[in-house]
């Protein structure tokens, strides 16, 4: 052909293609002139976004019972909108035309840039350096072995495809590296989201998997910096990598201190009321940083991620609060859906190979982590679950195969196979993990949730919460009088409650009882200011060394106070606690007053009472003397149990009865009887319970108190007395008379169980969580005795016919969801111990 004619045709084609992209933003005449609005950019983009958000959100709610992470519904929604399903119809084929897809893809990549910026904001650089060497070694093992196997598997598959289908695709090193990298990396946000949804974030597998997933995610970031330049231009790759490293170092060691100095000089003080100028400056900084790394040849997300890392913590927390939902809830589904739209499952000719890849690569990941159980004290079940969790994929894997497709080193069938593989590998993780640990929980479900129904010879497991070091002496003294030589062993789990500000999720630190420096198995212990925690741990360790009949394990829960009750209840369930002790939200002073420490502690106590999996006691400490010191002076501790009736009083009596077997304790049980036990005000038995249920509870109380009297006949240090009272005024007077005669009062909370003695006093109660009797004793300024208010666990699964409202949580309206902390929705991310905090 004549070269001139060929050039002319080439120019004509180019001009025609250029004319196709010269479109109006929107139609001015609208449908009234017969125009089709979906042929223009803006109406089409709006329709695309609406279709993506509606379909992906609907799929998310449909798949939620199957415990699928959000990324599954987003990618699956894109696949359904693409040529694999709805895209074959006339309307949906026009919804994502080739001529306009560049607009929505640009928006999707902009969402990815801001997403990575928020991920950088979440991560604390100081904490990354404290991840233990063991976690790093586990991660290297879990990355290198699958990466090597993935390269070999790539060549084997393409050799098979070329032999059977004669595709003629030239296998290259770049494609094999991208293939292996995409299938070897792990998504830390998806792992944390799965563990959080399954309430395993603070379990052994959660504490083991989180740092390993974090290191893997950071390794993926390094992989992006190295692999993408080599795929683009291997000759210039060393220069690209060098300039990127130089930029990162400049950001960390130059721009970061400079930004911190500017913000300190210009901010409005400690209230963190940053002006709009800061937000505008940050958005411009994100775009410029992304532009720099894109120009240097790496990827724009690298610059955005680094800029998020270097921002000061105070400003980072404000930015996360402002932007997290917009980015994660609205923009990121667009990126994942666009990734799914590009999948054409009809390009996959061998589906059995897809299943083979999924099974083989999952097995490789699991096999790479199984040796961990041989060289450490990790159970084989946990190492299997760890390998399965490391199969979860996220942004990094999708970005890698996007890069391979755009660079031409991966073909359409490769892209489709890898996306389906990522979808299947990630979707099977959560259901299998849930099945493993649900089965374990069912097989180990404990029966001893109450002291009353547990054998006196059985081990007593107590979870004691600590607000600060000031709570330690009181808890130690209470544990001291709880020890007996006749009863079984006592195991105590102490939980120091530490507030975590910002939007990071909860964490749990387990301290080594044999070592003065507490240590987490996969995370180094220098977490913030640990001086008070270390004092608490050392105090309980010394107490354990002096007492042979008690074992103590110290833990620290770092969580927002609004979610702290979830951590407490989950830990009580995990440790199979029988009794949970909560310090009162007020601290006694030498003058006898009870000033409030923190109102948040009261909310925590209320929520724990509603959701606790075992019996609960709220302890008001006014200085109970230690039994050990008393024994040397032949002093007997005077403890009183005030019994009115009901499950809570029976549980309080059971605990007091156990204490009475301590030779240094004298127990006085005071039973308060109404003049007419059936005389209820207004003819109503209770607002929460029916009369038949209350009658049954009286029978149970009579049986239990009679059993107590029969079995304690002849006990010199146990005294029983009864007081017949007419009304609430006589009850208040009686409690006033005895409030200084005993060192410790043990009473039941008696929630919902009204009687003529307490009904008229309900309106005078300041702290309903203590019940009427507990409130009168605790809030008396002249009282000197400590008070323990007990609530017995009620198992709603047993069913009580006459009970109007069985579960305690249903008696009080809306109850906060029991969880392990608010997970930042930035990326479905729960960064826990690795995130910034105030």
- Residue 534 confidence (pLDDT) above 80: yes
Average pLDDT of the residues of the chain: 75
Instruction: Tell me the helix, strand and coil percentages in the chain, rounded to 5.
Output: 60, 10, 30
- Residue 410 confidence (pLDDT) above 50: yes
What DSSP assignment string belongs to 363-429? HHHHHHHTTHHHHSS--HHHHHHHHHHTT---HHHHHHHHHHHHHTSS-HHHHHHHHHHHHHHHHTH
C-alpha to C-alpha distance for 30 and 24, rounded to whole angstroms: 12
The sheet carrying 786-791 orders its strands as 507-510, 550-559, 490-499, 460-466, 579-583, 615-620, 786-791, 744-748, 637-643, 665-674, 718-725
Q: What is the pLDDT of residues 650-665, one digit of tens each?
A: 999 999 998 888 888 9
CATH level 3 topology of 451-513+532-624+635-675+692-796: Rossmann fold (3.40.50)
The domain limits of the chain are 37-437, 451-513+532-624+635-675+692-796
Q: What is the pLDDT of residues 722-772, one digit of tens each?
A: 888 888 888 888 888 888 889 999 999 887 666 777 777 877 788 888 888
Q: Which of 179-193, 450-464, 478-492, 749-763 has the lowest mean pLDDT?
A: 749-763
| pLDDT reported for residue 585 | 84
Sign, CA dihedral 138-139-140-143, equals: positive
| pLDDT reported for residue 810 | 35
| pLDDT reported for residue 399 | 84
Q: What is the pLDDT of residues 195-216, one digit of tens each?
A: 878 878 767 788 778 888 888 8
| pLDDT reported for residue 835 | 43
Determine contact, residues 693/647, Cβ cutoff 8 Å.
Answer: no
| pLDDT reported for residue 15 | 46
Average pLDDT on 554-564 reads 82
C-alpha to C-alpha distance for 758 and 687, rounded to whole angstroms: 13
C-alpha to C-alpha distance for 536 and 347, rounded to whole angstroms: 62
Q: What is the pLDDT of residues 776-829, one digit of tens each?
A: 888 887 888 899 999 998 865 444 333 333 334 333 333 333 333 322 322 333
- Residue 267 confidence (pLDDT) above 70: no
Top CATH class of 37-437 equals mainly alpha
| pLDDT reported for residue 581 | 94
C-alpha to C-alpha distance for 777 and 784, rounded to whole angstroms: 9
HSE-up of residue 211 (Cα within 13 Å, Cβ side)? 24
Q: Please report, rounded to a whole number, the percentage of residues in the chain having pLDDT higher than 70.
A: 75
More confident residue, 633 or 698: 698
| pLDDT reported for residue 240 | 85
Most confident listed range (125-134, 627-636, 665-674): 665-674
Most confident listed range (119-128, 678-687, 818-827): 119-128
Residues 6+ apart with CB under 8 A from 8: none
Closest Cα to residue 838, out of 498, 468, 469, 497?
Answer: 498
C-alpha to C-alpha distance for 223 and 630, rounded to whole angstroms: 65
More confident residue, 830 or 836: 836
C-alpha to C-alpha distance for 689 and 575, rounded to whole angstroms: 32
**Which element (helix H / strand E) includes 823?**
none
Determine contact, residues 637/804, Cβ cutoff 8 Å.
Answer: no
| pLDDT reported for residue 487 | 63
Closest Cα to residue 163, out of 387, 355, 350, 396?
Answer: 350
606: its two tokens? 């209320």
Average pLDDT on 69-81 reads 89
- Work out the pLDDT band at 99, boundaries 50, 70, 90: low
- Work out the pLDDT band at 594, boundaries 50, 70, 90: low
- Residue 559 confidence (pLDDT) above 60: yes
Determine contact, residues 577/793, Cβ cutoff 8 Å.
Answer: no
| pLDDT reported for residue 522 | 40
DSSP 663: T
Average pLDDT on 828-834 reads 36
338: its two tokens? 């666009």
- Residue 631 confidence (pLDDT) above 60: no
- Residue 169 confidence (pLDDT) above 70: no
| Alpha-carbon Rg for the chain in angstroms | 33
Average pLDDT on 295-305 reads 86
Determine contact, residues 657/667, Cβ cutoff 8 Å.
Answer: yes
- Work out the pLDDT band at 618, boundaries 50, 70, 90: very high
Average pLDDT on 701-717 reads 87
Phi–psi pair at 787, nearest 5 degrees: -135, 135
C-alpha to C-alpha distance for 594 and 601, rounded to whole angstroms: 14
Most confident listed range (136-140, 381-385, 818-822, 831-835): 381-385
Residues 6+ apart with CB under 8 A from 467: 497, 583, 597, 598, 601
C-alpha to C-alpha distance for 57 and 55, rounded to whole angstroms: 6
| pLDDT reported for residue 223 | 73
Neighbours of 99 (CB within 10 A): 13
Determine contact, residues 375/400, Cβ cutoff 8 Å.
Answer: no
| pLDDT reported for residue 579 | 93
HEC per residue, 18-68:
HHHHCCCCCCCCHHHHCCCHHHCHHHHHHHHHHHHHHHHHHHHHHHHHHCC
| pLDDT reported for residue 808 | 41
Average pLDDT on 360-385 reads 79
Determine contact, residues 658/708, Cβ cutoff 8 Å.
Answer: no
- Work out the pLDDT band at 669, boundaries 50, 70, 90: very high
């Amino acid at each position: 052909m004549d070269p001139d004619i060929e050039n002319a045709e080439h120019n004509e084609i180019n001009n025609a293609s250029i004319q196709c992209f010269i479109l109006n933003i929107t139609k001015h005449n609208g449908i009234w002139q017969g125009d089709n609005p979906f042929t223009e950019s803006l109406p089409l983009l709006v329709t695309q976004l609406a279709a993506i958000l509606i379909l992906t959100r609907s799929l998310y709610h449909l798949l939620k019972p199957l415990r699928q992470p959000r990324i599954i519904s987003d990618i699956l929604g894109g696949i359904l909108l693409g040529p694999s399903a709805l895209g074959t119809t006339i309307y949906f084929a026009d919804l994502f035309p080739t001529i306009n897809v560049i607009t929505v893809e640009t928006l999707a990549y902009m969402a990815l840039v801001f997403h990575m910026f928020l991920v950088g904001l979440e991560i604390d650089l100081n904490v990354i350096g404290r991840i233990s060497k063991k976690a790093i070694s586990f991660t290297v093992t879990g990355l290198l072995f699958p990466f090597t196997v993935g390269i070999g598997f790539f060549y084997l598959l393409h050799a098979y495809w070329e032999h059977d289908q004669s595709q003629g695709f030239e296998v290259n090193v770049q494609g094999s590296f991208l293939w292996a990298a995409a299938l070897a990396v792990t998504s830390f946000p998806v792992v944390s989201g799965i563990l959080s949804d399954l309430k395993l974030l603070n379990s052994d597998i959660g504490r083991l998997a989180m740092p390993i997933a974090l290191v893997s995610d950071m390794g993926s970031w390094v992989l992006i910096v190295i692999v993408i330049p080599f795929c683009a231009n291997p000759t210039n790759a060393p220069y690209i990598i060098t300039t990127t490293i130089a930029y990162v170092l400049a950001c960390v060691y130059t721009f970061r201190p400079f930004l911190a100095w500017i913000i300190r000089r210009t901010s409005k003080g400690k209230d963190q009321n940053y002006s709009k100028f800061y937000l505008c400056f940050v958005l411009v900084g994100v775009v410029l940083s992304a532009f720099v790394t894109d120009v240097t040849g790496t990827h724009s997300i690298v610059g955005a991620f680094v800029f998020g890392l270097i921002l000061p913590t105070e400003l980072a927390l404000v930015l996360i609060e402002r932007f997290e939902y917009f980015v994660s809830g609205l923009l990121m589904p667009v990126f994942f859906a666009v990734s799914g739209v590009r999948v054409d499952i009809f390009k996959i000719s061998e589906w059995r190979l897809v299943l083979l890849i999924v099974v083989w690569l999952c097995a490789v990941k699991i096999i790479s982590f199984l040796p961990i159980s041989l060289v450490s004290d990790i159970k084989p079940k946990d190492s299997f679950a760890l390998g399965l969790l490391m199969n979860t994929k996220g942004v990094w894997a999708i970005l890698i195969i996007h890069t391979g497709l755009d660079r031409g080193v991966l073909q359409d069938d490769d892209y489709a196979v890898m996306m389906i593989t990522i979808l299947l590998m990630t979707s099977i993780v959560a259901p299998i993990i849930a099945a493993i640990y649900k089965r374990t929980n069912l097989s180990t479900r404990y029966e001893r949730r109450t002291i009353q129904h547990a054998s006196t010879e059985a081990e007593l497991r107590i979870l004691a919460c600590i607000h600060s070091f000031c709570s330690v002496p009181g808890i130690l003294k209470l544990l001291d009088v709880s020890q007996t030589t006749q009863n079984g062993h006592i195991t105590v789990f102490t939980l120091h409650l530490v507030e975590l500000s910002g939007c990071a999720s909860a964490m749990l630190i387990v301290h080594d009882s044999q070592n003065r420096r507490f240590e987490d198995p996969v995370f180094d212990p220098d977490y913030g200011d640990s001086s008070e925690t270390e004092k608490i741990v050392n105090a309980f360790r010394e107490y354990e060394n002096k007492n042979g009949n008690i074992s103590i394990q110290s833990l620290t829960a770092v969580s927002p106070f609004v979610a702290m009750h979830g951590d407490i209840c989950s830990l009580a369930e995990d440790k199979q606690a029988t009794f949970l002790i909560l310090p009162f939200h007020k601290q006694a002073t030498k003058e006898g007053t009870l000033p409030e420490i923190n109102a948040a502690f009261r909310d925590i106590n209320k929520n724990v009472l509603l959701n606790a999996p075992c019996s609960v006691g709220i302890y008001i400490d006014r200085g109970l003397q230690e039994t050990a010191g008393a024994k040397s002076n032949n002093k007997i501790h005077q403890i009183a149990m005030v019994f009115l009736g009901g499950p809570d009083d029976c549980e309080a009596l059971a605990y007091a009865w156990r204490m009475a077997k301590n030779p240094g304790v004298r127990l006085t049980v005071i039973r308060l009887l109404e003049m007419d036990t059936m005389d209820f005000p207004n003819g109503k038995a209770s607002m929460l319970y029916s009369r038949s249920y209350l009658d049954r509870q009286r029978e149970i109380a009579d049986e239990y108190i009679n059993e107590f009297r029969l079995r304690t006949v002849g006990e010199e240090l146990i005294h029983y007395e009864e007081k017949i009272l007419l009304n609430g005024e006589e009850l208040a007077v009686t409690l006033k008379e005895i409030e200084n005669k005993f060192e410790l009062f043990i009473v039941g909370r008696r929630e919902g169980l009204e009687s003529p003695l307490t009904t008229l006093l309900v309106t005078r109660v300041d702290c309903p969580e203590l019940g009427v009797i507990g409130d009168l004793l605790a809030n008396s300024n002249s009282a000197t005795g400590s008070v323990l208010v007990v609530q017995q666990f009620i198992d709603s699964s047993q069913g009580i016919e006459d009970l109007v409202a069985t579960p305690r949580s249903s008696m009080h309206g809306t109850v906060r969801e029991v969880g392990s902390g608010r997970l930042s929705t930035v990326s479905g991310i729960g960064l826990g111990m690795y995130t910034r905090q105030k």
